[in-house]
Amino acid sequence: MLESTLERRLKNEVKKLGGKAVKFESPGFSGVPDRLVLLPGGRLVFIEMKAPGKALRPLQEKRITNLRQLGFEVFVLDSVATINQFVKWVDEDEI
């Protein structure tokens, strides 16, 4: 399955949750996750989309670690199953 197909799936699932999954580019700060998921209640989640079987680059791993150390939630999604797990996490984590 192509990464772009998974990105569309994520966007549709997040929209059902009342949020937005927007493309994120940060010139001059390479390796940051490529999607910001904006959820109701002011929640922000970073998402790195990968094609199935593709590994994170070392710089991406470093950026994800840095974001998590700052207290941000970061997910790496590479399949329909991981997207479904993310959606379930959002549903269960809502207050």
pLDDT tens digit sequence for 45-78: 999 999 998 999 999 999 999 999 999 999 999 9
- What pLDDT sits at residue 89? 93
18 three-class SS: coil
Q: Return the domain boundaries, the chain.
A: 3-93
Q: At residue 41, does pLDDT exceed 80? A: yes
Whole-number pLDDT of residue 94? 61
Specify the pLDDT at position 5: 87
According to DSSP, residue 34 is labeled S
CATH code of the region 3-93: 3.40.1350.10
Q: What burial class does residue 49 get, using C-beta atoms within 10 Å of its C-beta: 0-12 exposed, 13-18 middle, 19+ buried?
A: buried
Full-model pTM:
0.91
Residue 4 binned pLDDT confidence (cut-offs 50, 70, 90): confident
